Amino acid sequence: MKKILLTIALTMLLLACGSKDDGKTLYLYGWADYIPHEIYEDFEKETGIHVVEDIFSSNEEMYTKLKAGGDGYDIVMPSSDYVEIMMKEGMIEKLDKTKISTLGNIAPFIMKKLQVFDTNNDYAVPYNTSVTVIAVNKMFVKDYPRSFDIYHRKDLQGRMTLLDDMREVMTSALAIHGYDQKTSSIEAMEKAKKTILDWKKNIAKFDSESYGKGFAAGDFWVVQGYPDNIFRELSEEEREHVDLIIPEKGAFGAIDSFTVLANAKHKENAYKFIEYIHRPEVYAKLADILELPSINEPAAKLMKVKPLYDLSELEKIQVLMDIHETLDLQNKYWQEILIAD
């Protein structure tokens, strides 16, 4: 609660400042270290528009703050499931795509993945993707399946981790059995629960915080997590011994997008920034810094740094969607999994 009150107070400050600005300000609410500061600086030099960035650590934190009255932002960067939620609740506006001339640079298959709930791509402009991978240290693990079946390996007991995240783990287990992430089927939940309990016997723990450091230290040889969290802990030489697996079955990710709040006060600046980000030379620069594949097709040809994985790998992933209708059911099964011996 203290955190929410603090962030709301910051928003009020932003509002106070915003009322005095000369129209050359843009308030953006996004993920930490996701947009390189060089990009903000270059944008301001070219347009004179100063970007004020505030950060959130989870979609839930962002959503709670906005629902509690923490407005004052122009651009917010939710992941795909929260784009769907915010779209349904009228929190974000239908985009004026005539003001985003660079929209066509985004890979069509990325745009299509959002169409499962945003039929005409009217509410969100993809910024980047976050994909969940299974990282394997090839120095310690040999002849392994490139799938979630690796978690059935009893010889790796105590050397593996799964994310401490219901959505990530439950969604993958459901998908492995051929079920949609929104399913309300008890049969589906029971199958997913059994599979995860089988995995649980072999993992050291469910971990969403220290798996990167543990993997780098050699404590864990197989971890489920996010590529940047894993590779930032490793030297160039150590990276050579890592296999990043995006499984054929059960692979999920999120598309983090730019959305314009319905009550934004600097909408023209928001459109200018979104259009600017997807200029090929700009997007190539930020993709090089983040070491992520470019979802901007012309920019991919300008990149100088090899990304951590290939963009084509993302074609097999499903994006996380809003599951509010079955959230309580999934949470019930997840709690049973966590307390099981």
**pLDDT tens readout for residues 15-58:** 444 445 568 999 999 998 899 999 999 999 999 999 999 999 88
Neighbours of 135 (CB within 10 A): 24
Chain mean position to CA 60: 13
What tokens were used for 182?
A: 């929104």
* pLDDT tens-digit series, residues 169-184: 999 999 999 999 999 9
Helical axes 166-176 vs 186-200, angle rounded to 10°:
110
CA distances, 20 to each of 17, 23, 54, 75 (Å): 5, 9, 19, 19
Neighbours of 301 (CB within 10 A): 10
Query: What local confidence, expressed as pLDDT, does residue 101 receive?
Result: 98
Query: What local confidence, expressed as pLDDT, does residue 341 receive?
Result: 84
pTM score of the predicted model: 0.84
For 147: left if phi > 0, alpha if psi spans -120 to 50, otherwise beta; the answer is beta
What tokens were used for 235?
A: 């030297």
Query: What local confidence, expressed as pLDDT, does residue 6 receive?
Result: 46
- Given the DSSP bridges, would you call strands 222-225 and 160-162 parallel, antiparallel or unpaired? parallel
Query: What local confidence, expressed as pLDDT, does residue 22 receive?
Result: 66
Query: What local confidence, expressed as pLDDT, does residue 71 receive?
Result: 77
* pLDDT tens-digit series, residues 306-340: 998 999 989 888 898 999 899 999 999 999 999 99
For 273: left if phi > 0, alpha if psi spans -120 to 50, otherwise beta; the answer is alpha
What sign does the CA torsion over 298, 232, 208, 58 have? Answer: negative
- Cβ atoms of 280 and 160 within 8 Å: the answer is no
DSSP assignment string, 228-280: HHHHTTS-HHHHTTEEEE--SSS-EEEEEEEEEBTT-S-HHHHHHHHHHHTSH
Distance CA(316)–CA(131), nearest Å, equals 11
- Cβ atoms of 295 and 312 within 8 Å: the answer is no
Query: What local confidence, expressed as pLDDT, does residue 77 receive?
Result: 98
Q: Which residues of the chain have pLDDT under 70?
A: 1-22
What sign does the CA torsion over 245, 246, 252, 253 have? Answer: positive
- Residue 23 is classified by DSSP as S
